[in-house]
Amino acid sequence: MTRLLAVFLVFLATHATAHEGMWIPSTLSKLVMNDMQNAGLKLSADEIYAINQSSLKDAIVLFGGGCTASVISDQGLILTNHHCGYSQIQSHASLENDYLKNGFWAENFDAELTNPGLSATFVVRIEDVTEEMQKTAAAAGTENAEEALRKKALELEREAVDGTGYKAEIKPFFYGNAFYMIVTETYRDVRLVGAPPSSIGKFGGDTDNWVWPRHTGDFSLFRIYASPDNQPADYSEDNVPLSPKRHLKVNTDGVEEGDFTMIFGFPGRTFQYITSPAVEYILETENPARIAMREASLGVIDRAMEASDKTRIQYASKQSRISNAYKKWIGQNMGLKEFDVIEKKKKTEEAFLKAAMSQKGMEGYSQIVGELASLYAENEKYQNARNYLIEFYYYGPEILRFAAGFRDLVENYDTLAASGKFPEEVDKLFNLADGYFKDYNSEVDRDILAAQLPLFHQNCPDVLTSETLNSLIKNDNYGAASDAFYDKTVFADREALEKALKSKEKKMIKTLKADPAYCVATELLDAYGENVAPAYRSFSNEEEGLMSVYMKGLMELLPEKVNSPDANSTLRLSYGKMEGVKPRDGIAYTPYTTLSGIMAKYIPGDKEFDVPAKLMELHEKADYGPYGKDGELRVCFLGSHHTTGGNSGSPTINARGELVGLNFDRTYESTMSDIMFSEEICRNIMVDVNYILFITDKFAGAGHLVEEMDTVSNPVKKRPQPVHELKAK
């Protein structure tokens, strides 16, 4: 272990704060186990993370590419969020079987629905390889370090998984001041088991998103399948439900304010250590641009979804994907401003500079903050161009991405024709068109282009531009430009595209090559590749290098400012307790909500606040079964855990390692926690496990799924503690 990390580990072991931090599970015993146990945890470090015996980590899976799920039965049943499984639910939905509106519950294994491309990944082990990587970098020298590290990582990864079906990946932590190798096992047959109707799973819609009080039953159930010998396998009728190494017991006693709880999952990205110029750019430039672009497209999509059930189903997943980050960024900006994060960052930088200048041998750190500030200022246009490409090309009119998919056919025509593979490539594109047009509405897409075009045309730096697009814009008439674009393209109409693809080869290529959608898409991608990507890559590399030095300096000069490493989609544990909060003067968030709150929000026929008749009936009769408590049924609760995107679907686990809830959101003010976490105001939002069981059993009549779970009643004895009065900030 390096001297720097040894000093850091000693510091954290004695100074770790109770709630802040996303901890690497393999480091718990060295860093925060004492603090966790003092806070109420009844488990040992080995019961949470171990490699020679089953532990809680063996019940946690990376769901798809960006959410978490947990194994909750000995037959591979997994629990995640409704919004995490939303695209799979949407893919199975139709006007005849509207699983979004009505929900879906498989009566048996045979009725469970397959999801091509969906996977569930377990962590086998986590290894600290910092010493090997840093020795390699030191031996290679500064100029050759990056390539040397890449080769060393590949070598260690190959050695770690040789002869197994595992995958290994080495990731940097603390901006390259530490390295860990994550060894994983991925199952590729994951089937949909159950999902509540959207009136439960998305209750409150965009209005309640990132908001408290919350009453959303944001959960869905899937099942992992394996080969008959319990190994990962592609889908097959011969596959059987996974027999997992570990599954979580489901505790039905609930949680009370002050109870110790943990969140175990795969948080995506945080940026806790960036400097004030970076925060200023996010707050004043990046977020406002992204918000405006998404607001423009959402206005179009929301109106179209309200007008047609077919469009509602087609665009449900797309709308959710666009709107989630849109509202998050609005809340993030609010939190950054109200918590005065830029000034707090500046004070840390001032203390950093003072410490560097006052300690012998540390003077080299004194220039780093200024160098970072200059770097951001010099490269702002490339950051802006990249953001606009993402919002326009990837989250704007779909036709651009679809048209770009024909680039290989057009540009490699001669090679494909000579090899006889041209017809095969055309057939692939026909198949691609099937999936595209199933969920595509050309009028909606046309209106999205008209709505986003003025923002893109007027604000995107000129390093990213399209001559074809510019030629369509006359006198700033963006509606007319959009009409001209769609009237001339074959990619917006199934019949027109099929006609083009069935024409003679050379005529087909000529038609596609001159098509405005193809031209705009390829011109934007070329401009990005030539003018933006190299500069942005250089900027990112330089930023990473400077941040690595700054991070090292923070550890040495201001260790009290350093907590756990930033999230990077690797398995992490955060801990805190179930508790409410007073985020602002005159506002108090109670620690939990109930079914009565759903009825108070009920608006008949409303797309966000309608309530199923059966749920109303169960409430009227107070027919909560074993899931109610003191005459009420709890729906959601708050906790003081450090979470971010990717923690969606993470289990909430009590002091004994039992499932008590399901993480799915943060409060509006808490979205700033990606950049700065505050124990005083940051809260995550979870579905109470009893509401999940109630909906599955009493509402949906899928009690067989509850019977499959290992439910327990084992109240956690609360330790005496003072009442915590939170001060408004």
Active site residues: 83, 218, 648
Biggest CA-to-CA distance, the chain = 81
3-state secondary structure of 93: coil
3-state secondary structure of 499: helix
User: Where do the DSSP E strands lie in 188-280?
Assistant: 189-195, 220-226, 240-241, 250-251, 260-265
3-state secondary structure of 576: strand
What is the CB neighbour count within 10 angstroms for residue 722?
Answer: 6
Q: Angle at CA 577, nearest 5°, toward 37 and 631?
A: 125
What residues contact residue 584 under an 8 Å CB cut-off, 6+ apart?
A: 338, 669, 728, 729
Burial status of residue 680 (CB atoms within 10 A of its CB: 0-12, 13-18, 19 or more)? middle
Q: What are phi and psi of 207, to 5 degrees?
A: -60, -45
Torsion of the alpha carbons at 199, 698, 688 and 692, rounded to the nearest 10: -70
Between CA 603 and CA 611 the distance in angstroms is 8
Residue owning tokens 């049924």 = 633
Q: How many residues are listed for the chain in this entry?
A: 729
Between CA 137 and CA 117 the distance in angstroms is 37
> Is residue 180 within a helix (H) or strand (E), and if so which, with residue range?
strand 178-187
User: 260 forms bridges with which residues in the sheet?
Assistant: 577
Between CA 673 and CA 670 the distance in angstroms is 6
Q: Is 570 left (phi over 0), alpha (psi -120 to 50) or beta?
A: beta
Tokens, residue 604: 């008949």
Check: CB of residue 695 under 8 Å from CB of residue 215. no
Q: Is 368 left (phi over 0), alpha (psi -120 to 50) or beta?
A: alpha
Handedness of CA 528, 671, 213, 250 (dihedral sign): positive
- How far apart, in Å, do the first and last CA atoms of the chain sit? 41
